[in-house]
Amino acid sequence: MAEIKFELNEYKRELSDDEILNDIKNVAETLGVDYIPISTYKKHGKFSQTAIQHHFGTWKNALSIVGLRNERNSKELKLISDEEYYRDLQRVANLINCDTVSYDAYKEYGKFSAEHIFHRFGKWNTALQKAGLKGTGFSKDKITEQQCFDEIERIWILLGRQPTATDIIKRGISNYSIDTFKRSFGGWRKALEAFVEYINTTDNSDLQTSKDYNDSENIEEHKLDIQAFEKEKTYNKKNKSNVIGFQHKTSRNINARLRFKVLQRDNFKCCACGASPAKDPSVELHVDHIIPWSKGGETIIENLQTLCSKCNLGKSDVL
Ligand SMILES: [Zn+2]
């Protein structure tokens, strides 16, 4: 029986770590710098990025071993233009053959620091979008932006006020560490800003206020509603006030953003009995239709109120 041998392709020449390190050192000395970006090394150095990665894992590691600074200082960071970041994000997207670049993928293949991209743009997705790529945020094992928002919302309701970084660090009420928020948004303040932006993002498909009925762009829609209503009336000639068949302008579902706005307006307290999770953590707040949806009540802020679970149950018994 013929012997089958499995062999990896051999490298043409066995390159030593020292050869590479000495070359990096030489380039730094020639240029008179204590930090060299990989792009600069590629211009002046002898070895490829692949060879360096093969020997040291990352460029950063190689620099550390040589004894050079392995990160740009703030002055050097400021010199990097937004466009350079976009170009490098696009390059990595091309490299991994994807229309988006996760934070982890960038950390692996990017030429700049992923953290600093966060700092520059506030959000990872913002950088991606500006680079003309699809937003992603994080790989599956990372906590998503939405999860962060949900957690901020939960803590905010629990405290009945805007949570501080100290609440997250010292009070131990957050399921995620302060670093998780910092990593996702670039800082706690930035996380709060992103959250407020998210809450305030008006999505007409699921967030309408009564004001919308008067907006010019809704007039056509309103006309159609009136037509439908008139039609309905002819079927119910006997009773002019009959509103059976009333067409809802909003969906019954109260989305997270609208829910939070109602809770905030009501100071995170039950409108009926004043109970709040801030005083009693066992209190659960619900957002409820004042005029029930089944009776034609719309899902608009004016028709919503905050009730604790006890009062909410009491109310539905009455109705
Ligand atoms: Zn109550």
pLDDT value of position 235: 45
> Looking at the DSSP assignment, which residues form a beta bridge with residue 307?
286
**Residues 15, 55 contacting (CB under 8 angstroms):** yes
pLDDT, tens digit, 9 for 90 and up, residues 124-156: 888 999 999 987 644 434 678 888 998 899 899
Ligand 1 center–CA 152 separation, angstroms: 23
Ligand 1 center–CA 202 separation, angstroms: 29
pLDDT value of position 265: 93
* Burial state string for 125-163 with b = 16 or more CB within 10 A and e = fewer than 16: bbbbeebebeebbbeeeebebebbbebbbebbbbbbeeb
pLDDT value of position 4: 55
Ligand 1 center–CA 240 separation, angstroms: 38
Ligand 1 center–CA 265 separation, angstroms: 16
Q: Which whole number is the average pLDDT over 46-53?
A: 86
Per DSSP, helices labelled H in 236-281 are 256-265
Ligand 1 center–CA 150 separation, angstroms: 23
Could you tell me which of 145, 191, 146, 147 has the C-alpha nearest to residue 167?
A: 191
Per DSSP, helices labelled H in 201-275 are 219-235, 256-265
Ligand 1 center–CA 303 separation, angstroms: 17
pLDDT value of position 24: 95
Least confident residue range of 47-51, 87-91, 160-164, 210-214: 210-214
Separation between Cα atoms, residue 219 and residue 236, nearest integer Å: 25
**Residues 139, 102 contacting (CB under 8 angstroms):** yes
Could you tell me which of 92, 94, 72 has the C-alpha nearest to residue 103?
A: 92
For residue 67, pLDDT beyond 60: yes
pLDDT value of position 142: 63
Q: Please state the domain extents for the chain.
A: 17-71, 76-130, 145-200
% of the chain residues with pLDDT over 70: 78
CB-CB neighbours of 223 under 10 Å: 10
**Stated length of the chain:** 319
pTM: 0.43
Separation between Cα atoms, residue 15 and residue 8, nearest integer Å: 16
Q: Which whole number is the average pLDDT over 271-292?
A: 90
Could you tell me which of 305, 282, 297 has the C-alpha nearest to residue 251?
A: 297
Ligand 1 center–CA 273 separation, angstroms: 4
Ligand 1 center–CA 263 separation, angstroms: 13
pLDDT, tens digit, 9 for 90 and up, residues 168-204: 887 777 878 788 888 888 889 999 999 998 888 765 4
